[in-house]
Amino acid sequence: MLIEVYFGKVGFMREACLGSKWLRAREIFPTMQTIRDSHEKVYEVEIDSGDFKVETLFYDLNVNPGKINSDNFNPEDNGVWHQSMSIGDVVQYMGKAFMIDFKGLKRLD
């Protein structure tokens, strides 16, 4: 199973840090169609589907943010100001995408 992680770009993250309710009220909650405008893909990994938990990924990318940095990703060049997973970032797997929120995940349409 392919896991993809998208970090919010600077303009989006200024709003996203206030959570999904804030984003939905302003009609700027990301969708599968708009994610490329608001986010940058920073990480992907192929894993066994039985081994995947978003909580584990969140923990791993915050404890080991060096995993995000690859030869083709530089936060400043890609409009992303953070290097660890935060509220507003998105995890995509099994054809579904979820935004990290204050408490849990919110599914993107």
7-27: pLDDT as tens digits: 888 889 889 999 999 999 999
Q: What residue segments make up the domains of the chain, in order of their start?
A: 2-107
- Report how far residue 106's alpha carbon sits from residue 99's, in angstroms, rounded to the nearest whole number: 5
State pLDDT tens for residues 37-92: 999 888 888 888 777 888 888 888 778 766 665 554 555 555 565 667 889 999 99
- Report how far residue 49's alpha carbon sits from residue 7's, in angstroms, rounded to the nearest whole number: 22
- Secondary structure letter of residue 66 according to DSSP: G
This prediction has a pTM of 0.83
Give the pLDDT of residue 32. 92
Residue 18 is which amino acid? L
Spatial CB neighbours of 36, under 8 Å, sequence gap ≥ 6 = none
